[in-house]
Chain A
């Protein structure tokens, strides 16, 4: 296309909460020839306009107001919903220097523009992005349609030609390897890059590969190199937290995630990790704080789970029993508010109502209102009898396992609920044992031939039971389950473990490459049409 009028036929979407900026930006765009320009004052309008028109270029301010997701989250939301087409350009505008925005390195926008800028700068930036996107368009399309093997092949061909965007292409290739969990291949490329120059991008991805291979201590060494030049790197803090967690160093892991939370945008994923770690460290005040934040997350967050509400109620019960006085009464108030809100919004959903009543049993116990406990248990018994033939949803399973593990005596006189636990395969949870989990994971890694798949699956299942927060083990298990189901075509046998795996992985941050692996595997399972997975479609 003629560079002089290349913007005349392209459609633009401007997203900014300030009307003056929208007007000013619109007139700058008119100045470079743009004519088809839509404007949105908030994220919701932007999503709706983009859904209708799929604009060629989105220019979005980072800060969209105090009660809104920001520009980065809006882009992630569009990607998460698989709405953002590969050809669209998403550019984020901010008054801040972008090294402070701390986006995950692999989840960047096509371009970042720092204020102040003028027409000439905007045009230069757009020209550069368009040129690169046009050049790499075929590879991007393959990557966007999850054809990673083909994308890697196309990258190889492009890099061989020593073209202008060879380095960007190499980055795409590494990203593809990470999205198919080919950590050895990615590591080989990254090791070669490190001998040339260990940039933060290289080191972060190096650490991701090492984590993927279970080499957590080495991963921390790579991350520390990033932190020496940029102590505010959120990606580095996230990965360091994950590595410490996998090593069972929960206090250090908590410090890292708190650091990341202070630096970065509100992220449900980080709040969940922080809450889990606070619970492991028995820091109930912090656990309540983070569970509350998750519970109060804005509705646009795409990964809200029913379990989050139950976990919040459960941790409040723990906190109530661990303190007294004014603090205790605050927790009582919080519990009653959260319970009442959840109850109101889920009327008619019998399984969630059952889970809520189970939580209420715990609350009645910790607040010593034992006189009404029996009535609540009877209500639950009546509900579970009605559920006999329905598939038990994951959040109800979570709540049953929680009560069986932490408060088993509450169900001692309720055979109907105990029977329900047995028929739904809910048992007391194993105590966390990171050392055992890592040993089992190492053993599983060497079972790499097809005739050892069953053994590998069994080792990984055990490993995951000892470290149910380890995404690395969960992904490996999911991939092995995929192969097993493929070979034996007997999906129902793996139903429970598959569901546990899915339950953990669906709360991964969408910007994590493992989330892509998870989603693609899930789609593959759904296409094979095992009935038990169909119910996970809402993920």
Chain B
């Protein structure tokens, strides 16, 4: 065994994630079909379906984060930054979660200029914001606002809800150096770590992307902001 070429763990992980995502795809599509075909669902059935969908999406997000973080640690995370319409990014996020939004009776308000385009890695930013939206959907009472604005030549994307807001210890995590983040608290730490890493990887004219967590905003709950230079 010793003279064999060592296995490239990144490839093994990528291959395992590939297989799992194929299964997840089938699972999500089946949920979609079930949800479509049974029009007279009881409230309990609708909630069960929404939960199934929510957990499958979480699993997918975790897989993507795991693979991206592993690749980033090995300096193998490829970035493809191109110009994209932010409207496309938001529409895709909503489409991914339409079943959950519908079943939970959530209202999503969008405040974005249709013509707004920005430079970003669509896959990575899309996955990151989807994780934030999934959290907002879970903790929001009934409303979420996704808004965008340009401040000092930087794009700000806000996702805010009318839930109870972020716990203070989570807000404090934002100022900690990356290496001091503690993952024992569960996936929240991993999600934030991923979000910070993806934001930081977007660079332009000596500026780096960043994230902000606050409470309050126009809905009084949590406010997540992604800033891209």
Instruction: Spell out A's residues near B (CB within 8 Å).
Output: 20-21, 24-25, 27-28, 31, 95-100, 114-121, 123-125, 128, 164, 167, 197, 199-201, 229-233
Contacts and interface: CB of A to CB of B under 8 A. Distances in A.
A28 B29 contact: yes
Interface of B: 14, 17-19, 21-22, 24-30, 32-33, 36, 56, 60, 64, 67, 75-76, 78-83, 88, 91-92, 94-96, 98-99, 115, 117, 119, 121, 123-124, 204
B211 to A, nearest CB: 20
Contacts of B30: 24
Nearest to A124: B95
A95 B14 CA distance: 10
Which of B21, B27, B204 counts the most chain A CB atoms within 10 A?
B21
Contact of B95 (A20, A21, A121): A121
B21 A199 contact: no
Contacts of A24: 25-26, 29-30, 33
Contacts of B78: 99-100, 229-233
Contact of A121 (B17, B22, B96, B123): B96
A201 to B, nearest CB: 6
A95 B25 contact: yes
Counting from the closest, the 9 A-B pairs by CB-CB distance are A116-B25, A120-B95, A95-B21, A115-B25, A99-B80, A230-B78, A232-B78, A116-B28, A229-B79
A114 B123 contact: yes
A232 B18 contact: no
A121 B83 CA distance: 20
A143 B27 CA distance: 41
8 contacts: A97-B124, A99-B121, A116-B27, A116-B29, A116-B60, A118-B98, A119-B29, A167-B117
Given A115-B22, A116-B24, A199-B119, A28 B80 contact: no
Contact of A120 (B14, B81, B96, B115): B96
Contacts, number: 105
Contacts of B29: 24-25, 27-28, 116, 118-119
A441 B94 CA distance: 55
A108 to B, nearest CB: 11
A128 B88 contact: yes
Contacts of B83: 167, 197, 199
Given A98-B80, A99-B79, A120-B95, 6 more contacts: A95-B17, A116-B27, A116-B29, A164-B115, A230-B78, A232-B76
B26 A96 contact: no
Contacts of A199: 81-83, 119
A200 B25 contact: no
A21 B30 CA distance: 11
Contacts of B92: 121, 124-125
Contact of B123 (A97, A201, A230, A233): A97
Contacts of A128: 88
A537 B118 CA distance: 46
A309 to B, nearest CB: 30
A128 B17 CA distance: 28
Given A97-B64, A200-B80, A31 B36 contact: yes
Nearest to B53: A118
Which of A21, A95, A96 counts the most chain B CB atoms within 10 A?
A95
A118 B119 CA distance: 26
Contacts of B36: 31, 119
A289 to B, nearest CB: 15
Contact of B98 (A120, A125, A201): A120
Contacts of B82: 199-201
A27 B81 CA distance: 34
